[in-house]
């Protein structure tokens, strides 16, 4: 039954009793009729104190006062996990917009907790969640993720919750993140029994052990569907790097998967070594040099970096018991033979499942996530 949660062009004209709400620094609990109430006062609003955020009114509004963009952003203190959403359900997040300085993409960790769980269902550097890496901004025009000039990070994955939703950001940088802007648009509405919880998990191998597959996702237990991946891939050898096959091990698969792809560029919707960048609704190679403006063989060099994404919106990978996803890092020797690679590979996997979910692997400290320029 339509309840205002699952929106699309086909349902946009349907009336609903769902209650639209929006959280930002100007209304930290998304309360009805309480947006834009901040004052240029040294005394913080009770709501801000209760959610545990730093009180940072904007002096640029000093001549205008209340109702005039007094608190458009927040500061993220060093080493602190700051809560940006903490509300009761039932409901569903429908859109998240965030912007911050690109140098913090790997230093700010995004986490999401559903229905009072102690371990997050989402844990990833904020840049990688929005298909960004290496402290650079890359335009993305996918259906679930949009990144627009100049650094507007948008997510449209529906994120239902039944009892409670909590979203936090942790600042691991040694400096205060002075301008963190965010908006979370959601509805309060019943959640159907067959609505699963949203999950996202970051992993990195730097470098990948030669002769092993890169693990995108492992240890998933339960019933759900895999809906996509973002990958940030740095070459450590020259030549073409994308011969590897993606593999989905479903519901008890051991040595051999149920689903096996034919090559890295094939899985991400391209062909024949890419030879160009693109960003499409469900798949993309939005950044990288895999032979653009070059004659074969592709002119890829050590240190070259590549961004890739694939969203299974129209073709989710279904599982009922367990899921493991891997991809091979496989290059081309130029003499008619493949070559296993030892590249620096990072990824964020996106999936839905019924909770409880299995424990995530340890994210690692700042050094483990650090990008070497």
End residue of a domain, out of 146, 165, 195: 195
**pLDDT given at position 26:** 96
Residue 59, phi then psi, degrees to nearest 5: -70, -15
Are residues 126 and 249 located together in one domain of the fold? no
- CA 105 → CA 130, 184, 257, distances in Å? 9, 19, 34
CATH number at residue 294: 2.60.120.1390
Does residue 9 belong to any structural domain of this protein?
Answer: no
Q: How many domains does the chain have?
A: 2
Does residue 6 belong to any structural domain of this protein?
Answer: no
**pLDDT given at position 333:** 83
For residues 54-77, give the mean pLDDT: 91
Are residues 205 and 152 located together in one domain of the fold? no
Are residues 119 and 251 located together in one domain of the fold? no
Does residue 352 belong to any structural domain of this protein?
Answer: yes
Q: Per mean pLDDT, which of 35-39, 52-56, 158-162, 359-363 is the most reliable?
A: 158-162
Are residues 29 and 162 located together in one domain of the fold? yes
Cα 351–chain centre separation: 11
Nearest to 19 by CA among 195, 186, 184: 186
**pLDDT given at position 372:** 66
Are residues 25 and 170 located together in one domain of the fold? yes
Are residues 130 and 148 located together in one domain of the fold? yes
Q: What is the mean pLDDT of the chain?
A: 94
Does residue 88 belong to any structural domain of this protein?
Answer: yes
For residues 79-94, give the mean pLDDT: 97
End residue of a domain, out of 136, 169, 195: 195
**pLDDT given at position 290:** 66
pTM confidence score: 0.95
Are residues 116 and 95 located together in one domain of the fold? yes
For residues 59-76, give the mean pLDDT: 91
Does residue 221 belong to any structural domain of this protein?
Answer: yes
The more confidently predicted of residues 332 and 202 is 202
For residues 33-54, give the mean pLDDT: 93
Are residues 102 and 191 located together in one domain of the fold? yes
Are residues 279 and 190 located together in one domain of the fold? no
pLDDT 10s digits, 315-325: 999 999 999 99
**pLDDT given at position 119:** 96
**For residues 96 and 183, is the Cβ–Cβ distance under 8 A?**
yes
Residue 204, phi then psi, degrees to nearest 5: -150, 140
- CA 242 → CA 69, 113, 171, 238, 347, distances in Å? 48, 35, 34, 12, 15
Instruction: Give the structural domain span for 218.
Output: 198-360
Handedness of CA 296, 297, 299, 303 (dihedral sign): positive
The more confidently predicted of residues 334 and 312 is 312
Local structure of residue 362 (DSSP, 8 states): P
Are residues 295 and 339 located together in one domain of the fold? yes
- Cα–Cα dist 25/53, whole Å: 9
Does residue 132 belong to any structural domain of this protein?
Answer: yes
Does residue 297 have a pLDDT over 50? no
- Cα–Cα dist 157/193, whole Å: 18
End residue of a domain, out of 150, 171, 195: 195
For residues 236-260, give the mean pLDDT: 95
Does residue 367 belong to any structural domain of this protein?
Answer: no
Does residue 69 have a pLDDT over 50? yes
For residues 202-226, give the mean pLDDT: 97
pLDDT 10s digits, 276-295: 999 999 999 999 976 544 54
**pLDDT given at position 313:** 97
- Residue 285 has a CB neighbour count (10 Å cut-off) of 23
**pLDDT given at position 61:** 87
For residues 204-233, give the mean pLDDT: 97
Are residues 126 and 207 located together in one domain of the fold? no
Are residues 176 and 221 located together in one domain of the fold? no
124: its two tokens: 């990833």
Does residue 46 belong to any structural domain of this protein?
Answer: yes
């Amino acid at each position: 039954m339509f309840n205002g949660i699952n929106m699309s062009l086909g349902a946009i004209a349907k009336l609903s009793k769902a209650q639209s709400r929006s959280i930002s620094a100007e209304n930290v609990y998304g309360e009805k009729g309480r947006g834009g109430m901040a004052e240029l006062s040294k005394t913080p609003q009770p709501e801000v104190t209760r959610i545990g955020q730093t009180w940072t009114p904007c002096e640029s509004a000093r001549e205008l006062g209340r109702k005039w963009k007094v608190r458009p952003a927040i500061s993220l203190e060093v080493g602190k996990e700051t809560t940006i959403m903490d509300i009761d359900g039932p409901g569903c997040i429908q859109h998240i917009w965030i912007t911050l300085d690109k140098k913090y993409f790997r230093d700010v960790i995004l986490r999401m907790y559903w229905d009072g769980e102690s371990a997050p269902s989402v844990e990833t550097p904020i840049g990688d969640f929005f298909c960004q890496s290496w402290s650079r901004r890359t335009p993305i025009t996918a259906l679930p993720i949009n990144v627009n000039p100049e650094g507007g990070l948008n997510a449209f994955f529906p994120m239902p919750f039944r009892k409670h939703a909590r979203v936090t950001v942790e600042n691991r940088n040694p400096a205060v993140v002075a301008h963190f802007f965010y908006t979370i648009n959601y509805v309060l509405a019943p959640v159907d029994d067959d609505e699963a919880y949203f999950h996202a998990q970051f992993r990195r191998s730097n470098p990948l052990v030669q002769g092993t597959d890169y693990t995108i996702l492992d240890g998933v237990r339960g019933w759900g569907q895999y809906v996509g991946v973002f990958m940030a891939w740095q070459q450590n050898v020259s030549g073409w790097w994308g011969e590897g096959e993606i593999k989905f091990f479903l519901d008890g698969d051991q040595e051999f998967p149920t689903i096996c792809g034919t090559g890295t560029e094939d899985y991400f919707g391209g062909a024949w070594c890419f030879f160009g960048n693109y960003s499409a609704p469900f798949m993309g190679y939005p950044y990288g040099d895999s032979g653009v403006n070059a004659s074969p063989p592709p002119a890829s060099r050590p240190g070259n970096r590549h961004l890739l994404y694939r969203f299974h919106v129209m073709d989710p990978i279904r599982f009922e018991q367990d899921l493991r996803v891997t991809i091979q890092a496989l290059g081309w020797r130029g003499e008619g033979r493949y070559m296993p690679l030892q590249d620096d590979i990072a990824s964020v996997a996106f999936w839905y499942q019924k909770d409880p979910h299995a424990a995530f692997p340890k994210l690692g400290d700042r050094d483990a996530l650090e990008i070497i320029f």
